[in-house]
Structure 1
């Protein structure tokens, strides 16, 4: 495997930039578009030019570039006069009864993790109940629906783990509506799909928690300022937040639109009591470890007393932060003795908070670090994780 770096005669490269480049290469992060017409801005065939309709039902003589469809499917257009708001440039697909769209894409040659970001839009006015939307791929089946309000935008952005594939295999992505027991007031619409791939995420120095800064997760959409909602993922192996299980619902936030204590990303525990994140790590039984993390607010007008429970090994403690909702943070830590086998690290919200506008919000968690106590350094088997040529480049610089 060969790696290319720009010539020093054309670029002035500093060590942090080189290390960031190497980290991106070693984790295999890519954001190229795997899906055709992922924002539905290429209209269906047989659509009349200059059509002023906000909704066009599709039939067998229509086609959507890049997609196939079945059942009740409509191509909808944003129209402020009719209170139809959509991300991106203003088109989406509404899935009515038994409505389904699907597209097959080709995976990369290397085995990578595939994460999907998409916008879920209520397909009607004053929707009190929206039929669930199902995302299906060979390794996942997930349902999404509007249940609570988490921001000012009329749509929600969600992230989901799709699966891990390679060897140029074909992957079929299906998006379909699901009828529920009661008659829905609205059917769901979908827009702005984006797939991100990611390789192995490595430990950061002597931090025993992988992805402790939450920098590795689904891509944020340029068309949204409300972050990404991540639904419950009981195991870190099938989670859109790399190496973290998700309890309840959390919001993945970035520093562009929120206050993030460290780095570019963090998680906000928004679904109230028992929402949180959980990691697992192999520790030496009977040894002493220190867990530290940053607790804050996202600068989203979430004014509350946050109570967060931290559990590490067999030790549990509660931590409190008074939030005025304008962006604040404090560091906390606890020392514990490791139990046998795998030890879990859990950070859990014990409060339910809302802004004055009624949006659900909560404490921000960031910069989770687990180290051996008393300044002892843990030896990380880097050579088994990083290609030898990468180590050579780092040493050269």
Structure 2
């Protein structure tokens, strides 16, 4: 019986070939299949192939929930009982099978353990020559659990096997073992429909309802998924939208655990004026345009309401496009039952490309005293112009990256 159980475990944890990039956890993506004790020195992994389905380099630790550091800090494991910790200049990697021309979003959970400036760098090998690894800041914690789920996206440039690399390169600490905890690595193939014809009153924005976005891991969905800042040429895990910020993120949320205005997905603006949702569209200069969007709260204890004695403390979302802007206030009780406000911005296009911007005009924290950042929810964003032209097919890739 013991032999049979061991054999079964080996079959489950084995990685005989690259995993097909479907929707869900990667092979041993939650690191619950453990290394053999002969390939470990305490918590330190001593062989590059010790962790089933993964290859590791540098100082990588395999940790268990409840592990305590020398300084007394208990390490938080986001999913299940096990995770890995990436020391300075350390990485884990796994091969995937992808389709050329397809867009993929990677979701993972991470927790900071040492330096305030810890970052994780994600890349795919091989990749397009102009696509450098993306460094995702994880110093700000947006949940009460001590860890967050993050997302990142890439464009597959070839059919077949590629290697996903997650790397920690923070060299600003003295302890080579110091670094973030990594867990629950999943992937999703992104599908983004073309916007409808821009004439005749159709929405010119892609993914205006935010229904397409990164994979939500069931055990982490109650915390949402962070979409971190990105360069304008990066592929977005929230198709159609860029996140403009220096180091802050927005939170992608689902209706299973949060209040959303419509459909099953929305975005919570958790970083105040430090992070903005941005999308660019082709417009005809001089055309009359109307932008609409919904504003509410996520029902997560983020209570904020303006009063005569405390003006400016309520939730407020600012929208800007071309030379116009508007600000929409929402009085939130934090329970998602305060309804939704519909914002409207009318403006005239002045350029052939118009940038639409949405951001929270204030900073908010949950009313439970935890200090957890939160903010207004935006959804159902639309843009209609009286005269415009649909983008030619050659611009499809550029718009999707935006």
Would the TM-score normalized by the shorter structure come out above 0.5?
yes
Structure 2 distance, partners of 1:61, 1:150, is 33
Matching residue of 1:232: 229
Structure 1 distance, partners of 2:104, 2:184, is 16
Q: Does 1:195 align with 2:187?
A: yes
Superposed CA deviations along residues 26-78 of structure 1, whole A, max 9, x for unmatched, are: xxxx8435832211111113459xx9x9x621113862211111111111111
Give the CA deviation at 1:148.
2.6
Q: Which secondary structure does the structure 2 equivalent of 1:238 belong to?
A: coil
Matching residue of 2:382: 369
> Of residues 323, 328, 331 in structure 2, which corresponds to 1:322?
331
Map 1:347-366 to 2 at 5 A.
Answer: 347-355=358-366, 356-366=369-379
* Counterparts in 2 of 1:207 and 1:132: CA distance versus 1, 3 Å: same
How many pairs were matched up?
Answer: 344
Matching residue of 1:121: 111
Structure 2 distance, partners of 1:80, 1:300, is 30
Matching residue of 1:38: 29
Superposed CA deviations along residues 76-116 of structure 1, whole A, max 9, x for unmatched, are: 111389844323322111112332211222212x5210110
Is the 2:225–2:251 contact (alpha carbons within 8 Å) kept by the matching residues of 1?
Answer: yes
* Counterparts in 2 of 1:199 and 1:298: CA distance versus 1, 3 Å: closer
Structure 2 distance, partners of 1:80, 1:239, is 35
Map 1:244-393 to 2 at 5 A.
Answer: 244-248=241-245, 249-304=249-304, 305-327=314-336, 328=338, 329-355=340-366, 356-372=369-385
Query: Over aligned residue pairs, what C-alpha RMSD do you find?
Result: 3.0
Structure 2 distance, partners of 1:321, 1:236, is 33
Give the CA deviation at 1:120.
0.3
Structure 1 distance, partners of 2:360, 2:83, is 35
Range that drifts further, 188-197 or 232-241: 232-241
Structure 2 distance, partners of 1:106, 1:61, is 21
Structure 2 distance, partners of 1:309, 1:348, is 6
Superposed CA deviations along residues 303-357 of structure 1, whole A, max 9, x for unmatched, are: 2212222112221222222222221321111211111211111112221111232
> Of residues 206, 210, 221 in structure 2, which corresponds to 1:214?
210
Q: TM-score, normalised by structure 2?
A: 0.77
Give the CA deviation at 1:379.
8.7
Structure 1 distance, partners of 2:121, 2:279, is 27
Structure 2 distance, partners of 1:313, 1:61, is 53
Structure 1 stretches of 4+ with a deviation exceeding 6 A read 378-385
Structure 2 distance, partners of 1:194, 1:336, is 41
Q: Which secondary structure does the structure 2 equivalent of 1:195 belong to?
A: strand
List alignment gaps of at least 5 residues for structure 2: 1-20, 305-313, 396-402
Range that drifts further, 288-297 or 38-47: 38-47
List alignment gaps of at least 5 residues for structure 1: 1-29, 386-397
Superposed CA deviations along residues 182-223 of structure 1, whole A, max 9, x for unmatched, are: 447942111110111124422268111110001111011111
Structure 1 distance, partners of 2:189, 2:155, is 9
